[in-house]
Chain A
Amino acid sequence: MNELLAHFKQLTPTGYLFWILAFVTVLSAIVVVTARNPIHSVLALIATFFCLSGHYVLLNAQFLAAVNIIVYAGAIMVLFLFTIMFLNLRKEDEESKTSLAKIAAVIVGGTLMVLMLGIFKAAQVGSYNAIAFDAKTGLVENLGMVLYGDYLLPFELASVLFLVAMVGAVMLGKREAGDRHF
């Protein structure tokens, strides 16, 4: 505890920004899981993604911060919102699981958290290397060289994956002859 207090004393505004962002991220993640209305869940998830993008910017990974906003907060969340509105779920209020199942789930999650914290105490993650540090790691120039050099084949395979996913989504979503209309 004293260690944490000493840690707070030596923070600059950027350090405080990390704590504020982390707090907001965890809070909106909890809202995602607990909100009654699915629309509120989606909005909280968008807030979580924006906060995570803020973390990426703080870590000097600007390219992935931009990709995160475009892909997650843009494309994926629009799909989620569209599906929720398309399915018109307002009339049925979801009856939740029994409180026993909920308590069991929280115990399982808490056990995992405690277990991981115990592991982190023993693990040696190290810290940054001040001499060999490269502040340009997360910039487009550097990532592009790696992506189109060492990882060219997975990059091309990702396009095949997208094609398959597109065909699969169209095939699953298509209405067949005997299906109901809604």
Chain B
Amino acid sequence: MQPTQQVLIPEVIQQIPLNYYLIFSTALFVIGIIGVLTRRNAIIIFMSIELMLNAVNMLLIAFSSYKSDPTGQVFVFFIMAVAAAEVAVGLAIIVMIYRNTRSIDIGALNKLKW
């Protein structure tokens, strides 16, 4: 790498403060939390969890890009791999719940409540 090479910084990184990414990711995460707390459909709760995972990914990538550290992006890669495995098992569990209770309403799953 020549020392004379011009350093190219993406325009977004030059113009948008890192704080705005923090606020944006927090908003996505909070929307996911509200989804988990308000819905009763197990699949939509699952999708809200995916939303929260993606909010965290977004923040990791933003920090990694701003600080030029590839480790954060490797973590995101692993999060995506684990999320894929989690979705496969989770959806299998939801299909099994449907098979046993004929619905995916989590209100029906109260055996462990008390």
Binding site for B on A (CB under 8 A): 10-12, 14-15, 17-18, 22, 25-26, 29-30, 32-33, 38, 41-42, 45, 48-49, 52, 55-56, 58-61, 63-64, 67-68, 71-72, 75-76, 79-80, 83-84, 86-87, 89, 92, 94-97, 101-102, 104-106, 108-110, 112-113, 116-117, 120, 125-135, 137-138, 142-143, 145-147, 150-151, 154, 158, 161-162, 164-166, 168-170, 172-173, 175, 179-180, 182
Contact = CB atoms under 8 A, between A and B. Distances in A.
Nearest to B51: A29
Given A135-B10, A138-B73, A22 B24 contact: yes
Contacts of A180: 99
A169 B80 contact: no
Interface string B29-45: 01111110111110110
A151 B69 CA distance: 14
A12 to B, nearest CB: 6
Contact of A48 (B12, B51, B102, B105): B51
A48 B34 CA distance: 16
Contact of B47 (A32, A59, A95, A105): A32
A25 B54 CA distance: 11
A87 B95 contact: yes
Given A97-B40, A137-B73, A15 B12 contact: yes
B85 A162 contact: yes
Contacts of A59: 10, 12-13, 61-62, 65
B112 interface: no
Nearest to A115: B26
Contact of B68 (A58, A76, A106, A129): A129
Among A33, A41, A172: residue with most chain B CB under 10 A: A33
Contacts of B77: 64, 67, 143, 147
Nearest to B48: A33
Contact of A128 (B9, B30, B50, B102): B9
B30 A76 contact: no
A113 B27 contact: yes
Contact of B81 (A87, A94, A134, A158): A158
B15 interface: yes
